[in-house]
Amino acid sequence: MTHGDFGFVQPATAETQWEQFVHHVKTRQPTFFDPEVPVFGARAPGRLDVMGGVADYSGSIVLEMPLACAAFAAWQWRQDDKFIVRSETPEMQLALPEAHFRVADFVTPDRHPRSLDEVRAVLQKNPEQRWASYVLGCFYIMLNAYTKMNQGKADERLGTVGANILISSAVPSGAGISSSAALEVATMHALSEAAGIKPSDLTLAAWCQRVENQVVGAPCGIMDQVTSALGRENTLLTMRCQPHDLMGNQPAPPGWRFIGIDSRVKHAVGGGHYTRARVGAFMGLKIIQLESGGQLLDNYLCRMSADEFKAYREIIPETLTGRQYQQEYGLLPDTVTTVDPDETYHPRACAEHPILDNERARSFIALMHLAAMHHEENHADNADAGPDEYLLSEAGALMLKSHESYSKRLNLGSPETDLLVSLAERHGKAKGLYGARITGGGSGGTVALLTRANFEPADEAILSICQAYEQETGRTPRVFIGSSPGAIQFGARVIA
């Protein structure tokens, strides 16, 4: 058994990946790209959700690491009104890897943007071309943003000609590491360079979230897009999702390492379990808003501490049908989900999880700061001083508690991810494994592990986990190691 059997090899650098993509683009000339017209490209990484995860929609603090794997997009304007979008991502296994649309699908004859309903209907009409919604959704959202500044008509840089667009991604879909956000950020960044439009960094990420929420129809928070756009190599982007208050990029303390193991159970943000958990959390928020006599919390549950929540916990029903909620409490204070009258929700548990996970994330940051201080103090006296075992253990325990809450409170666990966490616990601190948790929207996908860095027993334990998991489930896991810069730090570039 070799390290490569589970993808446990050091990935190529971002620059090497980019050079490979540039070569790929150039080999598509002149069959796809016009060699006489500039091509604009961008790269955006996937992300590993270390803490916070699904609590982002409730305003939690999240800690996210941009991964080494990334999505790429190349954008070239055409002289006609055609959009030709080609995906060369083998894992997507698309029945129609090339999608064709026209400017008129997005813009009326008098140069006004079409309605969102019209655009969604066009992009989603053919199920085999719906994947293009992530790409041309970027065009439509940018078009809309700039028409608002131009008396409601299409900006001269947008809405007049079509484009050749090539996408390629090494961020596996359904793995819970934000393949969709990476694709959106890469596309939006390449498009902004091609159009000469320079939104602020956070605006670019927010536009990408709008693509997901409004065009694709997936009720995600914003942490994935912000991490893919603004993340920095080998650091945890720390953000309070209210809506996107950046708290900085926290380098991993010396001796700490974060990796991901993909369970190969497909995760989908638009799935029923995720939506029920999100709706349940907003039900709990609405009940608190009403019962507190107007404590609105700016629509963020995580404006409330765990101690403050105790005063309302028993008031929030354990279970509630959508119909009962509508009759007793009215509208849901969420802009991207709706209540299903025939569905049964668990508002108490779904509201409690983000509040507790927010406090766990805050404690995790404090432990990272202490670990960095410990290293600085001890490194001066002992060059071989290892990381503080107590701090690693405490951080790992927070991850395990978060994982347990995903399953028990949100019903977002899965037998396979539970198995990966159990295997990691079994090896434990003696093998350099300190904590593990399901990531992102849960219900499959990737498990994040906190391990000791540069420690051979930890590598051996990870390989042992993969072997045991494959033997028990019949699924071959995949290990994500390494980090890389976000799209903004890497920069959009002209491909000659």
Determine the pLDDT at residue 244: 86
**CATH number of the domain at 12-44+68-232, please?**
3.30.230.10
Q: How many CA atoms lie within 13 Å of 206's alpha carbon, on the beta-carbon side?
A: 11
- Ranges under pLDDT 70 in the chain: 1-5, 90-95, 148-155, 267-271, 379-385
Backbone angle region of 215, left / alpha / beta, with phi > 0 → left and psi within -120 to 50 → alpha: alpha
Determine the pLDDT at residue 1: 37
Q: What is the DSSP string of 1-55?
A: --GGGGT-SPPPPHHHHHHHHHHHHHTTTTTTS-TTS-EEEEEEEEEEEEE-GGG
Domain ranges of the chain: 12-44+68-232, 272-350
Determine the pLDDT at residue 94: 65
Determine the pLDDT at residue 142: 94
CB 188 within 8 A of CB 208: yes
Determine the pLDDT at residue 153: 67
Determine the pLDDT at residue 218: 84
Catalytic residue numbers?
Answer: 224
Determine the pLDDT at residue 262: 96
Phi, psi at 309, each rounded to 5°: -65, -30
Determine the pLDDT at residue 421: 97
Task: List Cα–Cα distances, 130 to 126, 307, 432, in angstroms.
Answer: 6, 45, 43
